[in-house]
């Protein structure tokens, strides 16, 4: 990448927009995942019996089971949501920046 292209990209308001959007979105999603996971770990640490509560009176299934499955599914969904947004919105913006840099 030569100096010229570099300057062009760095001063492109779309680049600044991309950096801001992508970075803050990435951190936001990371924090959601961490809160879900460590929320679960801390529940285990401080109130383990909570997860052993049956989902309905007389049922053998405890609420820990759907919560566990939810965490696994949420990891998958969060990646899906991010990829969708990144591959459409961010990449469109990115494409424009790349093309404008070539001019």
Question: Contact 36/43 with Cβ under 8 angstroms?
Answer: no
- Options 6, 17, 39, 92; binder of another protein; rule CB under 8 A: 6
Nearer to another protein, 48 or 103 (CB): 48
Q: x/- site string to another protein, residues 17 to 56, per CB under 8 A? A: -xx--x--xxx-xx--xx-xxx-xxx-xxx-xx-xx----
Question: Contact 62/51 with Cβ under 8 angstroms?
Answer: yes
89 binds another protein (CB under 8 A): no
C-alpha span between 57 and 10 (Å, rounded) = 61
């Amino acid at each position: 990448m030569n100096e010229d292209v570099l300057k062009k990209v760095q001063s492109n308001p779309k680049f600044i927009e991309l950096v801001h959007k992508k970075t803050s979105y990435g951190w936001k999603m990371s924090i959601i995942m961490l809160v879900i996971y460590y929320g679960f770990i801390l529940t285990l640490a401080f109130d383990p019996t909570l997860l052993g509560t049956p989902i309905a009176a007389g049922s053998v299934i405890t609420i820990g089971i759907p919560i566990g499955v939810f965490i696994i599914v949420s990891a998958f969904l969060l990646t899906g949501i991010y990829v969708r947004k990144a591959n459409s919105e961010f990449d469109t913006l990115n494409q424009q920046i790349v093309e404008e840099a070539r001019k």
